[in-house]
């Protein structure tokens, strides 16, 4: 059931369902989340079951924007370092997840049994209205991984969610997601910020906000255990079709070699997503132009992959993103998508 997230009655219906231990899909600025009361282990277990996700793979907990998530942070986390609070001040609400030391009595199932927990304060108006309505009902945060089957392409519209789960899931429709890929994840449990997953907020922005250089996992101390975090498996974000990253010249060469006999039955078998203009002799090759800027590409990336899957293509050829930090998040998602079997 899809409800208009801009209607207060729909928010109340969703919040009541969440308080009762049910699942609700909701929009954020990044992707749609599959939400459950993060303090209710039985409700959280329903997320793992619905997604087919391992129960030791942690979920991000979303908190409302009252004083930049202060109540939710205090409920779920302890010993929050000063630089993490600086990042909350600079980027919350927004597409930034912070891994923080977890309070022993809070969110164990959502954290996948770890002594740390990922918290985020989303910027989407519907998400915030839902989180505020939940807090009034005693729900201090929503565990909310992407609302799709585990390892597959994240949803950026309510229709995407419905295609994954269908009835009887309650879905709040908040339109298409404005960012389009998941949040940046920063580990704040090591005394220094460590990048676990790139996103729209770059390491340079993190540096400027907290005055500390963001470390990569390779730069972090080897003897400090790395918390498990969402979306960091080698293979993830994968469509049904096999994704292959290729440089522009290799893409054109492959299309030239393929010729016009790709599929005489008329069914497209290859889709191409590239910034350069490519030639193909086959009308059975689907082509979609990748934007020249990273933010626009991120906004449409998952929708494009889903569109290609809907056309039943067998292969998706993607032009390798250009170098530079601006493209790191898009590159990360495509590399993980291409690593899937």
CA distances (Å), origin 17, targets 10, 24, 131, 229 = 11, 7, 13, 27
Residue ranges of domains in the chain: 2-210, 242-339
- Please state at what angle helix 328-339 crosses helix 294-310, rounded to 10 degrees: 20
Identify the pLDDT of residue 259: 61
Identify the pLDDT of residue 93: 97
For residue 86, what is the enclosing H or E element? helix 82-91
Residue linked to tokens 């400090």: 224
Q: What is the DSSP letter of 105?
A: T
Q: Which residues of the chain have pLDDT under 50?
A: none
CATH fold of 242-339 reads Rossmann fold (3.40.50)
Q: By three-state DSSP, how is residue 53 classified? A: coil
The domain 2-210 having CATH identifier 3.90.870.10: the answer here is yes
The answer to whether 312 and 268 have CB atoms below 8 angstroms apart is yes
Identify the pLDDT of residue 284: 79
The answer to whether 104 and 76 have CB atoms below 8 angstroms apart is no
Tell me the C-alpha distance between 141 and 44, whole Å.
Answer: 12
Provide the CA 84 distance to its chain's centre, in angstroms: 21
The answer to whether 138 and 132 have CB atoms below 8 angstroms apart is no
């Amino acid at each position: 059931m899809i409800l208009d997230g801009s209607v207060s009655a729909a928010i109340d219906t969703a919040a009541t369902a969440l308080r009762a231990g049910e699942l609700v899909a909701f929009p954020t600025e990044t992707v749609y989340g599959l939400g459950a009361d993060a303090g209710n282990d039985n409700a959280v277990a329903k997320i793992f079951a619905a997604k087919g996700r391992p129960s030791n793979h942690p979920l991000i907990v979303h908190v409302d924007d009252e004083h930049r998530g202060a109540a939710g942070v205090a409920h779920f986390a302890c010993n929050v370092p000063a630089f993490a609070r600086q990042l909350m001040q600079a980027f919350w609400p927004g597409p930034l997840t912070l891994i923080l030391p977890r309070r022993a009595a809070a969110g164990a199932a959502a954290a996948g049994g770890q002594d740390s927990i990922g918290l985020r304060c989303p910027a989407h108006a519907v998400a915030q209205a839902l989180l505020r309505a939940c807090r009034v009902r005693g729900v201090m945060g929503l565990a909310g991984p992407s609302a799709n089957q585990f390892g597959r392409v994240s949803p950026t519209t309510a229709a995407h969610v419905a295609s994954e789960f269908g009835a009887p899931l309650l879905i709040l429709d908040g339109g298409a997601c404005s960012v389009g890929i998941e949040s940046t994840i920063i580990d704040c449990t090591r005394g220094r910020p460590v990048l676990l997953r790139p996103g729209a907020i770059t390491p340079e922005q993190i540096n400027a906000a907290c005055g500390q250089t963001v470390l990569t996992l390779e730069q972090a101390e080897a003897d400090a255990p790395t918390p498990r975090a969402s979306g960091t498996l080698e293979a993830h974000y994968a469509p049904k079709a096999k994704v292959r990253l290729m440089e522009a010249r290799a893409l054109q060469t492959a299309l030239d070699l393929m010729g016009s006999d790709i599929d005489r039955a008329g069914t497209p078998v290859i889709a191409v997503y590239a910034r350069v203009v490519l030639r193909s002799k086959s009308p059975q090759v689907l082509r979609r132009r990748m934007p020249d800027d990273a933010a626009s590409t991120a906004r449409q990336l998952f929708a494009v992959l889903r569109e290609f899957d809907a056309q039943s293509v067998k292969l998706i050829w993607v032009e390798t993103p250009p170098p530079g930090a601006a493209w790191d998040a898009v590159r990360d998602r495509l590399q993980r998508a291409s690593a899937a079997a």
